[in-house]
Structure 1
Amino acid sequence: MTGPLEGKRVLSIAVNLPGPAAVARLASWGASVTTVLPPTGDPLEHFALAYFDELHEGQAIERLDLKSDAGRARLDELLAETDVFVTSSRPSALARLGLDHAAVSGRHTQVCQVDIVGHSGDDAETAGHDLTYQAAAGLVRDGRMPATTVVDLAGAERAAGEAAAALVERARTGQGCRREVALADLAHMMARPVVHGLTVPDGLLGGALPVYDVYAASQGHVALAALEPHFTARLLTALELDPADLTRQRLEQVFASRTALAWQQWAHEHDIPLAAVTSPSA
């Protein structure tokens, strides 16, 4: 089987995380990818080389100084053969390099440009990163650092989707187009479960339900998510509990009797959504 983007060419000048993760997704769909890095490289390359390598597997990498005439000329050669062009710079920076959509489309009408930006509209030049987007959206709690760069990665998935949508539009119109992904807007979207009270402390998915919570086992912890009535009924039957016993205190007693991994195996056998809490793995 071939990927849905087989035969399409992607060119990226996006560094850090959202752009490379988006381009990795496009590559997984069969696109041929060339990533252009500045002479100093990608910050991710210096901070987490293994992750950088993972995101750029199978791609062609060129290092160009886009502030030089030679670098811009080489990029223009690549753009002539490009279907999707991915950027992650502020609009003013792209304009200085002649890489804003108006300039690129004037030279290469076939290019579908996906610009990943921090903020949309009048705030397009405002500096930011995943942490500030999460903080402004209300996703940073109790002064603790987020567990992962959820906005960057959500932005990557959105950018890949926008690239696919742009190609569909081009197939209809015969012209390339521009799609924008604003990370701050994505953070706002990711915060909607909090805004609507679903995941706040003691919210429906924030600890209010005994069947949707994290419990200490004799070794480790388990995450129980028996949310639907049929899973709740199955949990009661498997644990031989009456509905009146389905309290947090009773479940704390029950789960303390085995290890997290033993409970995970038990849950698999009884078709109950429960998983041992583990550390991220490669």
Structure 2
Amino acid sequence: MTGPLEGVRVVSIAINLPGPVAVARLASQGATVTTVLPPSGDPLQQFSPAYFDELHVGQSIEHVDLKSDDGRARIDELLADADVFVTSSRASALTRLGLDHASVSGRHTQVCQVDIVGHPGDDADIAGHDLTYQAGSGLVRDGRMPATTVVDLAGAERAAGEACAALVERARTGRGSRREVALSDVATSMSDPVRHGLTASGGPLAGGLPVYAVYPASAGHVALAALEPHFAVRLAAAIDLAPEELTHERLGELFATRTAAEWETWALERDIPLVAVAESA
């Protein structure tokens, strides 16, 4: 696979979601990836084998016991030729394995290390997962489980970006560096729209605006996102209303007259941002 990262060699010992998703992103940009898994494999293989396979397309996968002498020799062999090293272990575990940045950079000065951790700095060993990071930042509402692992996925994108930033820095300095991605910080960033009132209950992007809301149709639901004034004006004209008449009540009555699929076709023909809400898998 060619791309802007062609020739960049990535070694990953990251399991679960953020690391593999980040590494898959680097691979999609042309990087050559070797993923090193523990003898027991990646838990994601048990939870979703298809997703695991999807995230590791085109990669070399090795099962290595990093606690053994042979395992440590093998990871050093891989790092000797690596440009980027991605981890998602606790800081104390990396230190025990001799894979903390101070140790790795002492042996392999060219390596750009991206450590995905739960919390920043001295709190890096505090246990957590996507659910706890979302819950702690106000993204879990009404006792309901999140619809997706937004912190893991956003953290993966941040990790991929940090890897690229480290490569740019190495081109300038001649040495690799360490970049830390703290998932709790990512959760805080993802919750900023809540903190600023945009997606808080009743907020403008949480259904508070009639033109940016979800409505039941005669079958299914529609998601209307006519946020910009020109879209709202276009919507009002299409349904013979004045813009100030676009209320929750009037729109609710309107959308109940057709199926969601019919409304989506109608909106596409009129360049109005509205889609049928996809059914949950």
TM, length-normalised to structure 2: 0.98
**Alpha-carbon distance change, 244 to 173 in structure 1, aligned in 2, over 3 angstroms:** closer
Taking the aligned partners of 1:179 and 1:160, their CA distance within structure 2 comes to: 10
**Alignment-derived partner of residue 164 in structure 2:** 164
Taking the aligned partners of 1:156 and 1:133, their CA distance within structure 2 comes to: 14
One-letter identity of the residue aligned with 2:202:
D
Taking the aligned partners of 1:220 and 1:87, their CA distance within structure 2 comes to: 43
Aligned-residue offset at 1:112: 0.2
Cα-to-partner distance string for 1:58-99 (whole Å, 9 max, x where unaligned): 100000000000011011100011000000001000000000
SS in 2 for 1:223: strand
Taking the aligned partners of 1:101 and 1:41, their CA distance within structure 2 comes to: 24
**Alignment-derived partner of residue 67 in structure 2:** 67
**Alignment-derived partner of residue 17 in structure 1:** 17
Taking the aligned partners of 2:244 and 2:237, their CA distance within structure 1 comes to: 13
Cα-to-partner distance string for 1:173-206 (whole Å, 9 max, x where unaligned): 0001000000001101111110111101111111
TM, length-normalised to structure 1: 0.98
One-letter identity of the residue aligned with 2:210:
P
**Alignment-derived partner of residue 139 in structure 2:** 139
Is the contact made by 2:13 and 2:36 (CA closer than 8 Å) also made in structure 1? yes
Aligned-residue offset at 1:279: 3.1
Displaced runs of 4+ in structure 1, greater than 6 A?
none
One-letter identity of the residue aligned with 1:82:
A
Taking the aligned partners of 1:121 and 1:87, their CA distance within structure 2 comes to: 15
Q: Does 1:232 align with 2:227?
A: no
Taking the aligned partners of 1:218 and 1:279, their CA distance within structure 2 comes to: 15
**Alpha-carbon distance change, 3 to 280 in structure 1, aligned in 2, over 3 angstroms:** farther
Aligned-residue offset at 1:207: 1.5
Q: Give aligned-pair identity as a percent.
A: 74
Taking the aligned partners of 1:245 and 1:204, their CA distance within structure 2 comes to: 17
The count of corresponding residues between Structure 1 and Structure 2 is 281
Taking the aligned partners of 1:2 and 1:125, their CA distance within structure 2 comes to: 37
SS in 1 for 2:179: strand
**Alignment-derived partner of residue 221 in structure 1:** 221
Alignment RMSD: 1.0
Cα-to-partner distance string for 1:19-48 (whole Å, 9 max, x where unaligned): 000000000000000000000000001110
Q: Which runs of 5+ in 1 are unaligned?
A: none
**Alignment-derived partner of residue 55 in structure 2:** 55
Is the contact made by 2:212 and 2:224 (CA closer than 8 Å) also made in structure 1? yes
SS in 1 for 2:116: strand
